[in-house]
Structure 1
Amino acid sequence: MTERHPVAEQVIVITGASSGIGRGTALRLAELGAQVVVAARRGEVLDGLVGEIAAAGGTALAVPMDVSRPDDVLLLRDAALDRFERIDVWINNVGIGALGYFWDIPVEDHLRTVDVNLSGLILGAHAALRVFREQGHGTLVNVGSVDSEVPLAYQAVYAATKAAVLSLSRSLNEELRLAGEAERIRVGTVLPWAVDTPWWMHAANYTGKAPRMAALDDPSVVVDALVAACTHPKEQQAAGMKARAATISHQLMPDVTERVSAKIIDGELSRASASGPTTGTIHAPGPAGITVDGGVRERMRSEEPADPDPRSPTA
C-alpha cells in the first residue's frame, strides 16, 4: 500500500497559479491528494487548470483575483472557507518584475512591482494569519527569491521587494512566538534561484534585450521546495543548490557576490537577442505564457553562436 503524503486532504491556497511555479505546485499538490484553491488574474486559465486537476482525479477551486486588491484577497479567503471550511496552508506565490536600469524603468512599473510583490503578499499574509489564529493552526509559505539575500542589478525594485518578504516572514515568526502560537502557526520563506518559467515573458523589460539568466533552474526544483514547505516550513529555505550557494557566498563575501552577480547578468544580456521596451503583463494580464516551463533555456541555446567545425581551417 502506498504511503499517504502528509499534504493529502489539506486545503492549500496558491496565488499566482495560472503559470510557472504556482501552476506546477498546484498540479503537484493535487496529485498528492491536497485540495487546492488556485488564484490568479486569468480566470479562464484557472478554469483550465482546475479541469486538468479534476481529470486526474484531484480537487481544485479557481478564484480569479488580483493580489494587490484588498477586496480580492478577502474574496479568495472567503471562497476557500465557503468550499472547504478551513485553510491549512496559504502559499503567497506572488512575483512580477521590471528589468532594466532603475532610471530607465517608468516609475509606474516600479510602483506596480511593489503593489504586487510586497503589498499583495502583506494582504495575503494578513488574511491567512487571521484565519489560522481563529482555527488554531496553519502554515504560511511566502515565496521570496535568491534576490531576498543577494540584490541583483537590472532588478533593483524586484530585489528590494523580495528582501522585504524575507524580513516580514522573520518578524511574523517572532510575533507568533511572543503570542504563544509558534507551535501551531508557522511561517516559511522559500528562496528560488532564477527559474525557467513564463515570468520572463510576463516581466516589463527595458534592457533592450530578450531576458535571460545564467544556469536557470527547472521549475521542479522550486515546486519540490514548496511542497516540502507545506509540512516542514523553514524561516529561510533556499530552493536548490544554486540558491544555497549564492546565499552562502553573500553571507561570507557580500560585496564580491553582488559584483559577480551583476557581471553575470550583464554578460548574459550582452549575448541576448534584441527586444523592444515592454510593460509585459504586469499591469494587465495577457494570453501568452500559461505553462509551467517558460522555454527560456531553449531560446538561450538558440541565441548562442554555433560551435565552429574543428575540421575547418578557420576553426
Structure 2
Amino acid sequence: MRLPLAAGLLATATLAGCATSTHLSRSELSRVAGRTYVIVGASSGFGRGAALRLGELRANVVLAARRTDALEEVAVKIRATGGQALVMTTDIAEPDQVKALADAATRQFGRIDVWMNIAGVGAAGKFWDVPVADYSRIVDVNLKGVIYGSHVALRRFLAQGSGTLVNMGSVESEIPLAYHATYAATKAGVLSLGRALNEEIRHAGQARTIKVATVMPWAVDTPFFTHTANYSGHADRMVMMDGPEKVVQALVWVSLHPREELPVGWKAQMASTGHHLFPDLTERISANIHRAELAKGSAVAPTAGSVHQPMAEGRDVEGGVRARMKAEDARLRDKPKP
C-alpha cells in the first residue's frame, strides 16, 4: 500500500537531507598522489575539472577526448601544479582507440588505478524531430563507449587485482526526462551496466578490491549544454541548476570511496528517492518542468552540436548556462504583457 502523498514527500525530504557528503579530509586527499587516473572526456566539463583537481593532488592523469588542443591545455596546467599528464586523442566510440588508450596509460605509468568514463553527448527536442543519425551517435558514445571503456578497464583491474571504475550516469539514469529520450535511455543503460558488473565482480571473488561506481548528478552548468544537439527551437536549460564543482568533488571522493550509485547533492537524491516512491508522478512533474524550462530558452536554430564532430566552443569546466538563464528570465519579466 502506497504512503499518503504528504508522508511520501516527508520521507523524500528526510532522505534527501541525508545525501552523502563527499568532503575529503587532508589525509584522504593525500592518497591521490602517485595514483594513475584515466579520464575519458577530459577536454571540458566534469572531466576537465576532475583532471585539474587530481593534478593538483599530484596524481598521474591520462587525458582522453577528441580535442587534442583542449587536452594539451589541461596537461600544461596539471604539470604546472605538480601532477603528471599524458594526452591521448581518443574517440570513446571506437574500441580500438579505447584499447590504445589503456595500453598507453600502462606503458607510461605501469598500471591504472582509476578509470573514469565521463564523455557524453545529448540531444534536446521531441523524439520524432531528432535525426536518427544523432541518436545512433549518442548511443555509440554514451552507452557503447562506456561499455568499451569498462571492458578495457576491468580486464586490467582483474589482471592486477585491484582498481576502481567510475561511470558517469545522471539523475536521468533514474528518471527518464521528456525531450531527452535517447540520452535518458543511455544513462539508464549505464546504471544497469554498473549494477550488473558489480555482481559479476562479486562472483569472480574480487568485490573487495575492484569496484564499479555510477555517479548521478542533477542538471549541472557545464559546456554539455553548448555541445548538445538541439531540435527543440529553444536553448536547453533546467531549473535549480548546480555548479560543476560539486560533481568534481564527488568524482574525487568516489575514486577513494567507491559506491555502486552516487546521486550528487540533495536535489539528485531527492529526485531519485521521489521516483522510487512515486515513479509516475515524478516523471510527469519532471516532464512538465522541462517543457516549461525549454519554453523560456533563447531561440536557437536546429543543430547537431558536437554529437558527430567536436566543437571549438565550450572548453571550460563551467558552461555559462546559469548566466544565460538569468538573462533569459530577465527578458521574460521585462516583456510587455499582451
The bucket for the TM-score relative to the shorter chain is over 0.9
Deviations 1:204-260 (A, max 9, x none): 000000111111110011111111110111111101111111000100000010010
Q: Does 1:221 align with 2:221?
A: no
RMSD: 1.4
In structure 2, relative to structure 1, the CA distance for the partners of 1:307 and 1:81 (3 Å cut) is closer
Aligned to 1:103: 128
Q: Distance in 2 between matches of 1:306 and 1:206?
A: 22
Closer/same/farther in 2, CA of residues 258 and 308 from structure 1, 3 Å limit = closer
| Residue 280 of structure 2 corresponds to residue 281 of structure 1 | no
C-alpha change, 1:308 and 1:149, in structure 2 (3 Å) is closer
SS in 1 for 2:82: coil
Match of residue 11 from structure 2: none
Quote how far apart the aligned CAs of 1:5 are: 2.0
2:276 partner letter: Q
In the other structure, the counterpart of 2:269 is 244
Q: Secondary structure at the match of 1:190?
A: strand
Match of 2:118 in 1: 93
Mapped to 2, the partners of 1:219 and 1:287 lie a distance apart of: 20
In structure 1, distance between residues paired with 2:260 and 2:80: 35
Give a deviation string over 1:276-310, Cα, whole Å, max 9, x none. Answer: 1000011011111100000000011111136979x
Structure 2 partner of 1:132: 157
- Greater helix fraction, Structure 1 or Structure 2: 2
Is the 2:65–2:119 Cα contact (8 Å) retained in structure 1?
no
Report what 2:83 is aligned to.
58
Determine which of 62, 65, 70 is the counterpart of 1:37. Answer: 62
Q: Which residue of 2 aligns with 1:15?
A: 40
After TM superposition, list the pairs within 5 Å mapping 1:1-315 onto structure 2. 3=27, 5-305=30-330
Distance (Å, rounded) in 2 between the aligned partners of 1:72 and 1:47: 18
Deviation digits for residues 35-56 of structure 1 (CA, Å, limit 9, x no counterpart): 1111000011101110111122
Structure 1 unpaired stretches of 5+? none
Q: Is the contact between residue 296 and residue 332 of structure 2 (CA under 8 Å) also seen in structure 1? A: no
TM-score (norm. length: structure 2): 0.89
Q: List runs of 5+ in structure 2 lacking aligned partners.
A: 1-25
CA change 1:277–1:166 in 2 (3 A) is same
**1:105 maps to amino acid:** V
3-state DSSP class of the match of 2:142?
Answer: helix
Q: 1:307 to 1:157 in 2, by over 3 A?
A: closer
Query: Could you state the TM-score of these two structures normalised by the residue count of structure 1?
Result: 0.96
Q: Deviations over 1:159-211 (max 9, x none)?
A: 00000101010000000111101111111110011110000010100000011
Whole-angstrom distance in 2 between the partners of 1:132 and 1:306: 53
Which residue of the partner structure matches residue 15 of structure 2? none
* Equivalences, count: 309
Residue 140 of structure 1 aligns to a residue whose secondary structure is strand
Distance in 2 (CA, whole Å) between partners of 1:94 and 1:144 is 10
Q: CA deviation at 1:94?
A: 2.3
Give the aligned residue type for 1:23: R
